[in-house]
């Protein structure tokens, strides 16, 4: 008798070998298998008679094989099976390439369903390599067919069969994480029905219903988990900091802080004196001056005898922070050190010793700073810069360090407030809502690829004037679950280097590089040794190369607006006039409207609001920049009202049953989602 934890290899039709391939898609158990949702769907419901087939149209045809299929060997490695099928309205000539077995498995006089793209005119139609199956099998034709992200060794057909088997294997076994009252109150379908329909929908309406239910479930569990986290920290205490005079800090800055910066610093200081560990997210657009806000918090902690750790997402960013902050902080009596992986052992020991003795007030590094081998005399404040790689789980790991340090998370991803309140349910949110005065606008243009030559000329002109440029190329989505961006970036860089800019230095970074290699290229770019840096989306968050003045984005319509805004924020960081060129051949209304917004405004929050209006919150979840547990369906589709509904339902349930005693399945799924053990979530 299988249960949801049964290894997929025991599912009929899977076996050892395929189980190994499925593992690459993170599918281990029956539960994983049935939760592997389609990426899209192929609507193969349309049936036509042969005479009605339109050239270029994909459709199903029910036709009888008229004569034995023939086999032709054209040349070595190319074998054609041909057959003629009829349905009373006309004749269909079917050709299969390299599928010799079909010669003997399709029998004259029998009727089959062919699904494919038709060509030809009048009564003589053709199909090349159609899907074919017996009239009575109806697996791949005649219905809406799921399309799954795949990996080597697993075909769509295998996946479809495995999931069908999986669904029947757990028939009657699926426990519902939604309590019955919640499910009915919100008009949601039953879990088993939802799973079946999300994989094999009867029609669009059933699919929408299934999705709605699964999205709701996911957001509901997420909301419960976050609310529990929040409640857990609400009962924690820590000694309040004394009021701190920061006037010497302000006096040493070469500029005066903006009102927004001062307001946020005020919010942090009041958290410090509240006697509870702070858990605050500071959102501020690129360039809004988050670093100085963090610096103020660090000085305050140091003056209260506490140490601070500043975590950057990469070593190169950590070094940049160290160089930028330590002169200012040291002059205020805050001792700083840098901890990186590449340090000589002796230096590293000295840094660790300084932290252990309390001599060092601030340490800057990557998330390794909160690992077990770094000991602090009294860690009072952790600052995470660019929080998207600092998830809920790490936050939990932090409080486990015993000291209950204050946590300040800084993010440049502007998220509309309504959404922020939901997805950062366990954090307080501050917004730096204004940029320092005198920032120049980055001129933004949306053009078609007909402008390539002009763009290249423009790049050449800027580079001749001593500047540098980024070129972002998009990734062609392949059938793989993990698309390979290495190829896209390397090919594009190679083309630019050899065909367009043979006299300049072009290099590339991509997601499959080791952090060290990536840092090396980024450092060379920062040092001005590379003129044009090609990359997919991975241009390291926050990297400061003031000399870079042009950001070119290929296939700009494939990026979310907020993502484009982040990319644009890589330029305009120095004294030079900067430009952003968005290339897209997508002529759809929506795409044009979106790119127009980019050209019109530089305000990240406005852009995010527009993005939310145009595309719904799915994108924000999809970006995974929030450090939340990975969502499976909410990525696909979800609207704001559903988000609110799920959140309210979660609140209501927790009010009635704070320990979730009445719904163990819900409790267990929440724990699973956050991958924490029972007592950290309670
Ligand atoms: P981000 O919010 O993107 O992390 P930074 O903290 O790196 O922004 O600040 C961007 C730049 O603006 C830095 O060079 C910083 O010194 C400068 N800056 C910060 N605050 C102000 C201010 N109030 N007035 C003028 N310049 C400022
Ligand atoms: Mg920053």
Question: What pLDDT digit, counting tens, does each position of 377-396 carry?
Answer: 999 999 988 765 556 666 66
pLDDT digits (tens, 9 = 90+) for 436-478: 887 788 999 999 999 999 999 999 999 999 999 999 987 654 4
Residue 677, pLDDT score: 39
SS (H, E, C) 273-302: CCCCCCEEEEEECCCCCHHHHHHHHHHHHH
Cβ of 288 closer than 6 Å to ligand 1, yes or no, is yes
Q: Tell me how far apart the alpha carbons of residues 283 and 263 are, in angstroms, rounded to a whole number.
A: 13
**Which residue has a Cα nearest atom 18 of ligand 1?**
289
**Which residue has a Cα nearest atom 13 of ligand 1?**
289
Out of 132-146, 158-172, 351-365, 616-630, pick the least confident.
616-630
Cβ of 257 closer than 6 Å to ligand 1, yes or no, is yes
Ligand nearest to the CA of 293: 1
Distance 364 CA to ligand 2 centre (A): 14
Q: Tell me how far apart the alpha carbons of residues 377 and 389 are, in angstroms, rounded to a whole number.
A: 26
Residue 475, pLDDT score: 66
Distance 30 CA to ligand 2 centre (A): 43
DSSP states along 191-230: HHHHHHHHHS-SSHHHHHHHHHHHHHHHHHHHHHHHHHHH
Most confident of the following: 410-424, 556-570, 575-589: 575-589
Ligand 1 atom nearest to 289, measured from its CA: 6
The pLDDT of 327-351, averaged and rounded, is 93
Structural contact between residues 255 and 398, judged by C-beta atoms closer than 8 angstroms: no
Cβ of 436 closer than 6 Å to ligand 1, yes or no, is yes
Residue 478, pLDDT score: 46
**Which residue has a Cα nearest atom 5 of ligand 1?**
289
Distance 353 CA to ligand 2 centre (A): 28
Ligand 1 atom nearest to 261, measured from its CA: 23
Residue 154, pLDDT score: 83
Dig out the tokens for 395 from the structure: 């936050």
Torsion of CA 287, 293, 295, 300, to 10 degrees: 180
Distance 405 CA to ligand 1 centre (A): 26
pLDDT digits (tens, 9 = 90+) for 118-143: 988 777 899 999 989 888 776 778 88
Residue 630, pLDDT score: 59
Q: Tell me how far apart the alpha carbons of residues 407 and 400 are, in angstroms, rounded to a whole number.
A: 13
Residue 178, pLDDT score: 95
Residue 166, pLDDT score: 92
Q: How many C-alpha atoms does 402 have within 13 Å on its Cβ side? A: 7
Cβ of 284 closer than 6 Å to ligand 1, yes or no, is yes
Residue 624, pLDDT score: 44
Cβ of 413 closer than 6 Å to ligand 1, yes or no, is no
Cβ of 292 closer than 6 Å to ligand 1, yes or no, is yes
Q: Tell me how far apart the alpha carbons of residues 9 and 185 are, in angstroms, rounded to a whole number.
A: 38
Average pLDDT, the chain: 85
The pLDDT of 238-262, averaged and rounded, is 92
Distance 14 CA to ligand 2 centre (A): 48
Distance 200 CA to ligand 1 centre (A): 52
Distance 321 CA to ligand 1 centre (A): 12
Please say if the pLDDT value at position 655 is more than 90.
Answer: yes
Ligand nearest to the CA of 569: 1
Residue 244, pLDDT score: 84
Residue 632, pLDDT score: 64
Cβ of 286 closer than 6 Å to ligand 1, yes or no, is yes
Distance 321 CA to ligand 2 centre (A): 9
Dig out the tokens for 52 from the structure: 């009605």
Question: Confidence class of residue 349 from pLDDT cuts 50, 70 and 90?
Answer: very high
pLDDT digits (tens, 9 = 90+) for 529-576: 999 999 876 665 557 788 999 999 999 988 888 888 888 988 988 889
In angstroms, how far is the first alpha carbon of the chain from the final one?
33
Cβ of 546 closer than 6 Å to ligand 1, yes or no, is no
Residue 251, pLDDT score: 95
**DSSP class of residue 497?**
I
Q: Tell me how far apart the alpha carbons of residues 570 and 546 are, in angstroms, rounded to a whole number.
A: 9
Distance 316 CA to ligand 1 centre (A): 18
**Which residue has a Cα nearest atom 26 of ligand 1?**
436
Ligand nearest to the CA of 253: 1
Question: Confidence class of residue 618 from pLDDT cuts 50, 70 and 90?
Answer: low
Residue 9, pLDDT score: 86
Please say if the pLDDT value at position 341 is more than 50.
Answer: yes
How many helices (H) and strands (E) the chain has is answered by: 23, 23
Distance 435 CA to ligand 1 centre (A): 8
Q: Tell me how far apart the alpha carbons of residues 385 and 290 are, in angstroms, rounded to a whole number.
A: 9
Ligand nearest to the CA of 437: 1
Most confident of the following: 16-20, 202-206, 613-617: 202-206
Q: Tell me how far apart the alpha carbons of residues 54 and 56 are, in angstroms, rounded to a whole number.
A: 6
Ligand 1 atom nearest to 257, measured from its CA: 23
Distance 262 CA to ligand 1 centre (A): 13
Ligand nearest to the CA of 250: 1
Q: How far is CA 508 from the centre of its chain?
A: 21
Ligand 1 atom nearest to 569, measured from its CA: 3
Distance 295 CA to ligand 2 centre (A): 12
pLDDT digits (tens, 9 = 90+) for 42-86: 888 889 999 888 888 889 999 999 989 998 887 777 889 999 999
Most confident of the following: 223-237, 310-324, 352-366: 352-366
Cβ of 604 closer than 6 Å to ligand 1, yes or no, is no
Dig out the tokens for 140 from the structure: 């791949």
Most confident of the following: 287-296, 397-406, 596-605, 623-632: 287-296
Residue 210, pLDDT score: 92
Q: Tell me how far apart the alpha carbons of residues 270 and 257 are, in angstroms, rounded to a whole number.
A: 18
Distance 282 CA to ligand 1 centre (A): 14
Ligand nearest to the CA of 318: 2
Ligand 1 atom nearest to 293, measured from its CA: 6
Handedness of CA 311, 315, 321, 323 (dihedral sign): positive
Q: Tell me how far apart the alpha carbons of residues 654 and 660 are, in angstroms, rounded to a whole number.
A: 7
Cβ of 334 closer than 6 Å to ligand 1, yes or no, is no
Please say if the pLDDT value at position 179 is more than 50.
Answer: yes
Cβ of 616 closer than 6 Å to ligand 1, yes or no, is no
Question: Confidence class of residue 481 from pLDDT cuts 50, 70 and 90?
Answer: very low
Distance 432 CA to ligand 2 centre (A): 12
Dig out the tokens for 152 from the structure: 């080597």
Please say if the pLDDT value at position 619 is more than 60.
Answer: no
pLDDT digits (tens, 9 = 90+) for 272-316: 999 988 989 898 888 889 999 999 999 999 999 999 999 988 788
Cβ of 255 closer than 6 Å to ligand 1, yes or no, is yes
Distance 287 CA to ligand 1 centre (A): 5
**Ligand 1, from 298, 318, 436, 541: best to mutate by most atoms within 8 Å of Cβ?**
436
**Ligand 1, from 289, 414, 430, 567: best to mutate by most atoms within 8 Å of Cβ?**
289
Residue 172, pLDDT score: 86
Percent of the chain at pLDDT > 70 equals 87
Residue 679, pLDDT score: 38
């Amino acid at each position: 008798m299988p249960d949801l934890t049964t290894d997929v290899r025991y599912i009929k039709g899977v076996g050892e070998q395929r189980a190994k391939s499925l593992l690459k898609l993170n599918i281990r158990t029956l539960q994983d298998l049935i939760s592997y949702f389609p990426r899209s769907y192929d609507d193969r419901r349309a049936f036509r008679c042969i005479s009605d087939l339109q050239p270029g149209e994909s459709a199903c045809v029910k036709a009888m094989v008229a004569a034995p299929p023939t086999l032709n060997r054209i040349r070595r490695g190319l074998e054609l099976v041909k057959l003629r099928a009829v349905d009373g309205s006309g004749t269909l000539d079917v050709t299969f390439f390299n599928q010799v077995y079909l010669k003997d498995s399709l029998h004259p006089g029998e009727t089959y369903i062919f699904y494919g793209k038709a060509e030809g005119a009048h009564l003589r139609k053709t199909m090349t390599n159609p899907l074919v199956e017996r009239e009575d099998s109806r697996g791949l034709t005649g219905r809406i067919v799921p399309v799954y992200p795949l990996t080597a060794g697993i075909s769509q057909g295998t996946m479809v069969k495995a999931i069908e088997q999986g669904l029947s294997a757990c028939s009657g076994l699926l426990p519902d994480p939604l309590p019955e009252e919640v499910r009915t109150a919100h008009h949601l379908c039953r879990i088993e029905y939802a799973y079946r329909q999300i994989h094999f929908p009867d029609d669009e309406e059933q699919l929408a219903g299934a999705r709605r239910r699964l999205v709701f479930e996911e957001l509901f569990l997420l909301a419960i988990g976050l609310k529990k986290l929040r409640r857990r920290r609400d009962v924690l205490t820590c000694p309040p900091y004394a009021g701190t005079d920061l006037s010497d800090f302000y006096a040493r800055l070469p500029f005066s802080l903006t009102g927004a910066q001062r307001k946020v610093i005020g919010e942090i200081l009041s958290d410090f004196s509240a006697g509870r560990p702070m858990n605050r997210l500071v959102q501020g657009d690129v360039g809004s001056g988050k670093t100085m806000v963090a610096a103020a918090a660090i000085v305050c902690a140091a003056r209260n005898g506490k140490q601070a750790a500043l975590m950057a997402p990469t070593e190169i960013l950590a070094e940049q922070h160290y160089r930028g902050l330590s002169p200012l902080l040291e002059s205020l009596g805050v001792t700083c050190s840098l901890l990186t992986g590449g340090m000589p052992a002796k230096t590293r020991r000295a840094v660790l010793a300084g932290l252990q003795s309390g001599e060092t007030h601030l340490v800057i590094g990557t998330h390794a700073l909160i690992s077990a081998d770094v000991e602090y005399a009294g860690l009072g404040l952790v600052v995470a810069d660019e929080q998207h790689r600092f998830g809920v789980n790490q936050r939990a790991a932090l409080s486990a360090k015993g000291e209950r340090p204050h946590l300040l998370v800084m993010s440049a991803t502007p998220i509309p407030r309504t959404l922020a309140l939901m997805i950062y349910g366990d954090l307080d949110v501050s917004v730096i809502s204004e940029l320092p005065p005198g920032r120049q606008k980055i001129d933004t243009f949306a053009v078609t690829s007909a402008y390539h030559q002009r763009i290249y000329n423009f790049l050449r002109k800027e580079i001749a004037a001593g500047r540098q440029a980024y070129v972002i190329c998009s990734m062609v989505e392949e059938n793989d679950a993990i698309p390979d961006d290495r190829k896209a970036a390397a090919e594009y860089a190679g083309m630019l280097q050899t065909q367009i800019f043979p006299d300049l230095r072009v290099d590339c970074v991509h997601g499959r590089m080791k952090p060290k290699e990536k840092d090396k290229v980024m450092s060379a770019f920062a040092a001005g040794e590379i003129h044009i840096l090609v990359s997919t989306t991975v241009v390291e968050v926050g990297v400061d190369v003031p000399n870079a003045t042009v950001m070119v984005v290929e296939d700009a319509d494939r990026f979310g607006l907020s993502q484009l805004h982040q990319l644009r924020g890589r330029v305009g960081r120095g004294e030079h006039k900067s430009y952003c060129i968005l290339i897209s051949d997508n002529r759809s209304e929506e795409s044009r409207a979106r790119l127009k917004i980019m050209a019109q405004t530089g305000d990240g929050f406005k852009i995010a609001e527009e993005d939310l209006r145009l595309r719904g919150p799915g994108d924000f979840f999809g970006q995974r920049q929030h450090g939340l547990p990975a969502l499976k369906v909410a990525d696909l589709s979800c609207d704001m009202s559903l988000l609110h509904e799920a959140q309210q339902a979660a609140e209501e349930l927790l009010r009635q049953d704070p320990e979730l005693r009445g719904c163990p399945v819900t409790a267990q799924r929440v724990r699973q989602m956050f991958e924490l053990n029972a007592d950290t979530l309670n």
